[in-house]
Structure 1
């Protein structure tokens, strides 16, 4: 492994799973969602093209599974043009170092995520006291130390374009993380939301395991700025997406997505914001 790249000292396998783990869904001909344990990665690009991109990098120690998923969709020894990170939380960068080493591709993230991706700054500690179920209670075991990608990671272009993803633009959607981004394609109104909102109650172990579909705000135990999180959801709802892939839960589309997002905007404080927790103020 490249000596300048390393995970934090708290990097470890997290023993959680869901019924969707190991399965993929072709949401659109050029948009594929694959579930690694309890989190989704996205493959953007048609299977018959060499130009495709990986969005997010799964759970810790999932690199081999991600490589297999890529090769199953695009062919053996195929590699993406880049890895785009919606943010740097442990469940979105879990395999990134091994993937960079294996493929030799660049990583892009928002400028404000750079301290967490270059070994400079830890994320705030997960909040096990937040309102929610067993996953929230388990959250102290989740890694929060920064990883270090060295010069393999660079900031996304300031003009909103996304390298190797023509037609997409990145949108700053903070709240869950300072430099959290979502990705939107105007011509088909496809949204890759990251954890700005999710389609499962991520704090509850039973709902995570069964992947019971239910729109929700960002995972509570790692969200530190609820005012920003609400503004981000309002911003994404205003785009009127036709289909959305979120960081956790099943993809959502059509009328269900429209009405669910409308409900989340109108009732954000009731649906998303916990009644108690250390990051409420």
Structure 2
């Protein structure tokens, strides 16, 4: 493992935490959402029925020990995931993956179009501070945007939509925020793991991030580079009529609040989500 990837994260400016940091909740018995500072990661697996589980995303830099402790509390001291599934490769979703893979010899799966950012071939575009007046947006150029190299572990997800070690779940390509962004959906109970295709907090606002004020919002503006694709992805997810959504940022949302909020986001995407100006707009 190339430890220079971790050192880049260590030396970078990182955003503040939130009141939800360190808190986990089982939204259903086999879907556990855990907040690491400002981002959510998910464990899929029911500890009362099995010792096997999958980890969705790997949180912020410097959080590997915290993540392992959370897993041990839920699944036991010797527990490790069967695999890691990445919704995408931004720093707050892969921040601890290199450190975790030092101890875990397990596969990592991501969409084929995300692999250049996970194999050291490309960096993400830098954050755009001009998309919103919120302080997080203004700080975004300071956030890490480099790719990482986990080529020894990462492999592409199947094009047929199946998800390794997650029977009943479907992988949905939801680009816009990044080229290879994915979401995960289980039709049986209409649970959606949306990543950053949309979120349930206004991620550009430092106050709302800190307080975890709940509201349906589009993908984080400062990192989203293809707004037409982002709109199509939100439409695709709304059409699934999810009953519960765990997003990359914000508190899980369910029921009528989710359905009406998603529908409103689709109908008013340009006003609610898309910035009026910015380097990635048009």
| TM-score between both structures, scaled by the size of structure 1 | 0.97
Structure 1 residue runs of 5 or longer lacking an equivalent are none
- What's the counterpart of residue 185 of structure 2? 184
Q: Cα offset for 1:105? A: 1.0
- What's the counterpart of residue 200 of structure 1? 201
Q: Cα offset for 1:151? A: 2.0
**Structure 2 CA distance for partners of 1:137 and 1:85, relative to 1, 3 Å:** same
1:195-274 to structure 2, matched below 5 A, reads: 195-274=196-275
- What's the counterpart of residue 42 of structure 1? 42
Cα distance per residue 1:101-131 (max 9 Å; x no partner) = 2121110000000000000000111101222
- What's the counterpart of residue 56 of structure 2? 55
Instruction: Give, in whole Å, the separation in 2 of the partners of 1:220 and 1:244.
Output: 20
1:11 aligns to 2:9 (yes or no): yes
Instruction: Give, in whole Å, the separation in 2 of the partners of 1:237 and 1:16.
Output: 30
1:73-92 to structure 2, matched below 5 A, reads: 73-92=74-93
Stretch of structure 1 that moved more, 13-22 or 157-166: 13-22
How many residue pairs align between the two structures?
Answer: 279
- What's the counterpart of residue 276 of structure 1? 277
Instruction: Give, in whole Å, the separation in 2 of the partners of 1:112 and 1:202.
Output: 24
Q: Cα offset for 1:6? A: 4.7
Instruction: Give, in whole Å, the separation in 1 of the partners of 2:22 and 2:133.
Output: 26
Give yes or no for contact 2:183–2:193 (8 Å, CA) kept in 1.
yes
Give yes or no for contact 1:6–1:97 (8 Å, CA) kept in 2.
no
Stretch of structure 1 that moved more, 268-277 or 203-212: 268-277
**Structure 2 CA distance for partners of 1:15 and 1:223, relative to 1, 3 Å:** closer
Structure 2 residue runs of 5 or longer lacking an equivalent are none
- Per the alignment, in what secondary structure is the counterpart of residue 151 of structure 1? coil
Q: Cα offset for 1:132? A: 3.2
- Per the alignment, in what secondary structure is the counterpart of residue 41 of structure 2? strand
Instruction: Give, in whole Å, the separation in 1 of the partners of 2:274 and 2:15.
Output: 27
Instruction: Give, in whole Å, the separation in 2 of the partners of 1:177 and 1:121.
Output: 12
| Root mean square deviation, CA, Å | 1.2
Q: Cα offset for 1:215? A: 0.4
Q: Cα offset for 1:60? A: 0.9
Cα distance per residue 1:196-218 (max 9 Å; x no partner) = 00000000000000000010000
Instruction: Give, in whole Å, the separation in 2 of the partners of 1:75 and 1:132.
Output: 44
Cα distance per residue 1:10-59 (max 9 Å; x no partner) = 42362410000000011000000000000000000101312200000101
**Structure 2 CA distance for partners of 1:15 and 1:222, relative to 1, 3 Å:** closer
- Per the alignment, in what secondary structure is the counterpart of residue 149 of structure 1? coil
Q: Displaced runs of 4+ in structure 1, greater than 2 A?
A: none
Instruction: Give, in whole Å, the separation in 1 of the partners of 2:196 and 2:280.
Output: 17
Q: Cα offset for 1:275? A: 1.6
